[in-house]
Structure 1
């Protein structure tokens, strides 16, 4: 199977997982609490099992790290040069609220870098996919794909659009926003925040709260393919994956590749 064929098959698997999720979304469903007190629904598990089965059929020798099967010891994960990074339902809180802002995320990670990925927002009918290994990123709606790119940066402190979390805004976010002249603020759930930067609907997404690697890997790949970057907020170094036992990300910034900090 060619890389192009694999890419299309994985995009299809993510979209199929989204369809299974929507069957549950449209009815009453139970909500459980995981050991870390985060919510879990039957949709998380249905999507997880569908994606796991699809990936194992397509690439039986490539390991999978999914939020719903994350108890793989570091001694084993540290040996992986290549793997699938999966969040079967990112934005479970948004799913429970039924506001549509949740996603299926699958990233292909090679040597710690997200080379391509797919983000499906099934309730919105939108798929974002691509990366550096696919020579760009695309947005797919109603079966039609269009190339996406980050937006040009404003010249001064005005005319910025900054995207923030629907469920996790903070004082630190307000302090960051204060560096700009009355920026437009867009609130959004799940990995869609990164995708808004990738398609040029927002300039920046500062993440000033906790996330895990499966929350960002797929959208990070899409952003890279669209001419953007996802970097440590403090050091501006690119985020890398599966480099330590912890799967927690540092605070980060999603931005066009030429972003060098808030304008003075």
Structure 2
């Protein structure tokens, strides 16, 4: 793959430090054209990641939420690119609940093959390379390899759900599942919770963008899980419309 995953992790950590510099002060919030929030932390993280990746891999283009206005006529020729969300969970950042992340993914032929998810407020780092494995490292601890757990539906499932985006579609979906525990979690941490074996299922039956999911998607697959649409089609990236379809993240079937 010729990608130094440790260097990408370091870029994510530096971006997280830039976010925390803003987090420590007063958070000024702007609204984008779609009325979603934007802070100085989003912008600072975007600059750190864009510059860091450009220095290391000048031949690999970057598509970032804060630099997304690249025409599809150009993007459609990309076989390989970085897909970045400099601050996933801006609403969680504004609420100051710590559940926001830095997401960096490498996409090849429409599929995430490498992902880094950093949780700045917890100093916790997830990374995964599809076909090689996934790991988590907490502050002051050694890195630990992670795997999804085996699903046992008859015992009831631990289901991750959005803290900020509940939906009636999700409520209807859960009526047909034996739920033992529901875990409300913010940002791309929802995918990581499944990847590290703390939950069985994350049904996302509401809108997300490609940069929201790509890094966590790679970590889940590297840890042995699956990410697919409700009709079991693959979740693909670099579409003309960057809005994701609904999808379901699953641990391994028993």
Q: Which residue pairs with 1:15 in the alignment?
A: 13
Q: How far apart are the structure 2 equivalents of 1:192 and 1:160? A: 18
The 3-state SS of whatever aligns with 2:114 is strand
Q: Which runs of 5+ in 1 are unaligned?
A: 260-264
- Which stretch shows the higher mean deviation, 178-187 or 57-66? 178-187
Alpha-carbon distance between aligned partners in 2 of 1:258 and 1:221, rounded to the nearest angstrom: 18
The alignment status of 1:172 with 2:169, answered yes or no, reads yes
> How does 1:40-55 map onto structure 2 within 5 Å?
40-55=38-53
RMSD, aligned CA: 1.3
Q: TM-score, normalised by structure 2?
A: 0.96
Alpha-carbon distance between aligned partners in 1 of 2:22 and 2:10, rounded to the nearest angstrom: 19
Which residues in structure 2 correspond to 1:243-258 (within 5 Å)? 244-258=239-253
The answer to whether the Cα contact below 8 Å between 2:192 and 2:216 also exists between their aligned partners in 1 is yes
Question: What does 1:207-246 correspond to in 2, within 5 Å?
Answer: 207-233=204-230, 235-242=231-238, 244-246=239-241
Cα displacement (A) at 1:257: 4.3
Deviations 1:194-224 (A, max 9, x none): 1111011110000010000000000000001
Aligned pair partner of 1:152 in 150, 153, 168: 150
Contact 2:150 2:252 in 1 (8 A): no
Q: Contact 2:158–2:179 at 8 Å: present in 1 too?
A: no
4+ residue stretches of structure 1 with deviation over 4 A? Answer: none
Deviation at 1:182, TM superposition (A): 4.2
Cα deviations by residue, 1:232-254 (Å, 9 ceiling, x for unpaired): 11x20111111x31000000000
Q: How far apart are the structure 2 equivalents of 1:223 and 1:125?
A: 20
2:103, 2:58 → 1: CA distance?
19
| Contact 1:105-1:118 at 8 Å conserved across structures | yes
> Could you say which residue in structure 1 is the equivalent of 2:2?
3
Equivalent runs, 1:69-80 vs 2, <5 Å? 69-80=67-78
The farther-off stretch of 177-186 and 28-37 is 177-186
* Aligned with 1:99 (options 89, 97, 100): 97
Question: Which position in structure 2 is the counterpart of 1:57?
Answer: 55
Instruction: Return 5+ residue gaps in structure 2 as ranges.
Output: none
